[in-house]
Amino acid sequence: MTLAKDFTSVDEGTEELKRRFRDKRVFIVLDDVDHASQLTALAAKLDWLGPGSRIIITTRNRVVLQVPQVKWTYEVVEMNEDHALQLFCKHAFRQGSPMAKLSALAKGIVETTGGLPLALEVIGSFLSGKSETIWESTLEKLRAIPYAEVQDKLRISYEALDHQRKQIFLDIACLFTGEDKNIPSYMWKDCNFFPEGGIDILLLMSLIKIVPDNKLWMHDQLKDLGQEIVRKENYGQPGKRSRLWYYEEARDELDNSELFVEQGTENVLAIHLDFRVGSEDSCFTEEQFRKLSKLSFLRLHCTALEGDFDGCLSNLRWLSLH
């Protein structure tokens, strides 16, 4: 069952779930829970579920599972060497075993990934069809990266992209995961990013997927990688980054408009402002946007605008108002 509806509060969503599932025997998957508050909101009390119901929780933060409602835990172990090599070869060679001349390199690369399926898929896809020299340099880079630094291993594939494809990757990571791929393609085309070829390359390199309803999907660790790349543009001053998608950061920068105008306008390409209904301080004027000469993306959710925007945001390619 799909709840195709946006809720204005956590309580409203929780009540809707209870209304639909009360006293029914259900199987629920809570995927990628990263805060205990999420689990509390959805499963603090289970007496409204029917007998025999089961809830499975996936998380990268085991602290989330330290609550009384959790009865059993299971930590997914690394893939064994044979299965890891088989998965890698599926993407690197489009078959279940390595080519003879690249066999030693393939096994060496698999060892450096620690049996992580995502890294095996992304790195294997990147190396597909590449020369032996590229294979050797990739193995050398991987061996120089600490065993646990997954993002650094994945970044090797990102660094192989050209400028336009990097921008599409970062846009998806920060702004467009879950969107119909055709919608941002209009903006990318107008920015001369050539989205048809760019998306095909990202798909071939296993950096994104297209899921049902033509929606863009990116693995959480790849999304984390893209967002961290943008944060590293300037850790201390979000206004000097290319993309602002956390509404607290965007709001703080726009509220401090004089500093923002002085320091950040030449860098900011995209802003996402998403406020809860009835939130305070969610009204902005044209003066806070007028100096954003390179802004090409602006998404406003539950945000009011005041003033005369004529001649403002001349470089805008995407405007979404909700």
226-250 pLDDT tens trace: 999 999 999 888 888 999 998 778 8
Distances (CA, A) of 213 to 29, 170, 189, 209: 21, 22, 21, 12
Q: Are the C-beta atoms of residues 28 and 56 closer than 8 Å to each other?
A: yes
Q: Are the C-beta atoms of residues 179 and 216 closer than 8 Å to each other?
A: yes
Q: Model confidence at 179, in pLDDT bands (50, 70, 90)?
A: very high
Q: pLDDT tens across 189-200, in order? A: 999 999 999 999
Give the CA dihedral 47, 52, 58, 64, nearest 10 degrees.
30
Per DSSP, the three-state class of 104 is: helix
CA angle 30, 32, 37 (to 5 degrees): 75
**Average pLDDT score over residue span 129-150:** 89
Q: pLDDT tens across 44-56, in order? A: 778 888 899 998 9
Q: State percent of the chain over pLDDT 70.
A: 91
pLDDT at 3 over 60: no
Q: Model confidence at 264, in pLDDT bands (50, 70, 90)?
A: very low
Nearest to 157 by CA among 111, 218, 115: 218
pLDDT at 18 over 90: no
**Average pLDDT score over residue span 283-310:** 81
Q: pLDDT tens across 145-164, in order? A: 876 688 889 999 999 999 99
DSSP one-letter string for 17-51: HHHHHTT---EEEE-S---HHHHHHHHS--TTSPT
pLDDT at position 46 is: 80
DSSP one-letter string for 243-306: EE-SHHHHHHHHHTHHHHHHHTTTT--EEEEE--TT-SS-EEEGGGTTT-TT--EEEEES-EEE
**Average pLDDT score over residue span 249-268:** 66
Per DSSP, the three-state class of 160 is: coil
